[in-house]
Structure 1
Amino acid sequence: MQIKNLMSENLITIDKDQNLSDALKLLRKHNISRLPVTNNKELVGIVSERDIANKLGSSKSEGMPASRFHISSVMVKDVITVLETMQLGDVAELMLENGIGSVPVVSGEGMIGIVSKADFVTLAVGIAFDKITVKEIMTGDVVAVSPTDRLIHARRLMIDAHIGRVPVIEEDELKGIITSKDLMRAFIDFRKNVPEKHQKSQIKEVLVEDIMSSNPSSVSKKMSISDVSKIMIETGFNGLPVVEDGKVIGIITQTDILRLIAKLES
């Protein structure tokens, strides 16, 4: 299958000279996690929730509201693009090799669409994926935090591991989950509500339990990839903890499913 048959043609873009507040409004309005960045309608970058969370959580940008940051200072500039005629298996491999969550699709006329890991997950619903279980492709080595860990610790873990979410675990029991979206919103609210002169000291007091999503959805290791994909599509979650006898034994993410599709396509 050519990637043009999977991509989203409904392009929501942002200009490089707009600010982070503008980006946040677009992300929330359209329920998306990244935006291609343009300059005079030409693609010059891409900005994601993770990029925004990393920027706003940085000590170098303490005290500055989101409206003070131009998109050009936050975006990833070296954008990888794919041709509309590229095979989806090759695109999947490209995304995995470069650790990226989406790629703009181009033709001779410029950017015509975008394809994300979420788009690939829609392919994993069907008979072929009914026979493959979570246990076969899940990530067993789970990066996790506790409810009483500092928020800045969770941010650093996610940056270092290059992941978009971490389960919150206490005494082996799943208590919640924290995502790039949660981080982004928490840092924005913090900057709005805490006076600038107190931000440096008070950010250290914000705990994971203050912003985590409680009672998160989880799956069993015996569940089929088809069923997991349905949950991801219905909920918008890009990762689900795997629980057995009340304990977290792994996590399954859109990346795991993308890797499976790349393997099957090859």
Structure 2
Amino acid sequence: MKIKNLMTEDLITIDKDQNLTDALKLMHKHKISRLPVLNANHEHKKELVGIISERDIADKIGSAKFEKKPISRIHVSSVMVKDIITVPEDMDLIDVAKLMFDNGIGSVPVMDDENNLVGIVSKADFLTLANGKAFDKLYVKDVMSKNITSVSPDERVVHARRLMIDAKVGRLPVIENDKLVGMITYKDLIRAFLDIKKNVPENHQKVHLKELLVDEIMTPNPLSANEYESVSKVDNLMIETGFNGIPTINDNNYVVGIITQTDILGLLIELES
């Protein structure tokens, strides 16, 4: 199967000269976490110049460089990733899956023969392929990541942000006494940063952010999966909820791992091979 048969063709894009407020509004409205960034060239054609994601925004607006700047004054071009990997629309989908897996990227723009952007494919799109007997017979424990990056509820948000950036993960289970008590994502980080910028006087924002704790912004009582549930069941759960990772617990409700879209993508590649 070619990637053009799996990609999303209904593209939501943003111009490089728009600001982060515009980007976040588009992401929220369409329930997506990344946007292709376009620019009009000398022929007045829109060309792909980058990708901006929630991760990029959380990284930048939580940094010292942008801490005093309103997001309405931060251009997409100053935050987006410029060195992007693209794929041709006739590329085999498993080859695209390998490319994404090997490079640790969540999505790739799809181009036609004239190098025009015609679609985008994400790890979430590949979830639709993880169904059938093979996936019904596999347990979550056989696929999940056991070495998870996590935080405790009394740790500082700035520490959680640094962990997420360094580990290149989109979410952190919040664990207390080996049990799952919450989840923190880039959405939570962005929401917290914007709340501080809006409601705290500028000369107090830095201190307020430094003192902010994980349990003040995390999502409590998050969704989890038992390690003996089938991969297909959890895969369908990800499709329904839009979550890209679900913590895994054992029968005693202790956290033993996390299953992510990346884990399922790796499984698809392994089964195809």
| TM-score between the two structures when normalised by the length of structure 2 | 0.95
Please say if residues 8 and 120 of structure 2, whose CA atoms lie closer than 8 Å, have aligned partners that are also in contact.
yes
Shift of 1:64: 1.4
Find out whether 1:6 has 2:6 as its counterpart: yes
Shift of 1:186: 1.5
Percent of pairs with identical residues: 65
1:103 aligned to 2:82?
no
Structure 2 segments unaligned to the other structure (5+ residues): 41-45
Residue 149 (structure 2) pairs with residue 143 (structure 1): yes
User: 1:38-187 residue pairs with structure 2 within 5 A?
Assistant: 38-40=38-40, 41-109=46-114, 110-187=116-193
Indicate the residue corresponding to 2:43 in structure 1.
none
Counterpart AA for 2:16 = K
Alignment match, 2:31: 31
CA displacement at 1:126 relative to structure 2: 2.4
Q: Tell me which stretches of 4 or more aligned residues in structure 1 moved more than 4 Å.
A: none
| Residues matched between the structures, number | 266
CA distance in 1, matches of 2:211, 2:258: 28
- Compute the displacement of 1:125 (Å): 2.4
- Alpha-carbon offset, residue 59 of structure 1: 1.7
- CA-to-aligned-CA distance 1:37-88 (integer Å, 9 cap, x gap): 0001100000001110111111221121111110000000011001111111
Structure 2 letter corresponding to 1:16: K
- Does 2:221 align with 1:229? no
Is contact 2:196–2:208 with CA below 8 Å preserved after alignment? no
CA contact (8 A) 1:137 1:252 kept: yes
Query: Once the 2 structures are TM-superposed, how far is the Cα of residue 128 of structure 1 from its aligned partner?
Result: 2.4
Q: CA RMSD in A?
A: 0.9
| 2:174 counterpart SS class | strand
Secondary structure of the structure 2 residue equivalent to 1:177: strand
Letter in 2 for 1:152: V
> What is the distance in 1 between the residues matched to 2:214 and 2:128?
31
In the alignment, the residues of structure 2 paired with residue 98 and residue 81 of structure 1 have an alpha-carbon distance, to the nearest angstrom, of 12
Q: Partner residue of 1:220?
A: 226
Which one scores higher on RCO, CA 8 angstroms, separation ≥ 6? 1
Report the secondary structure of 2:51's partner residue: strand
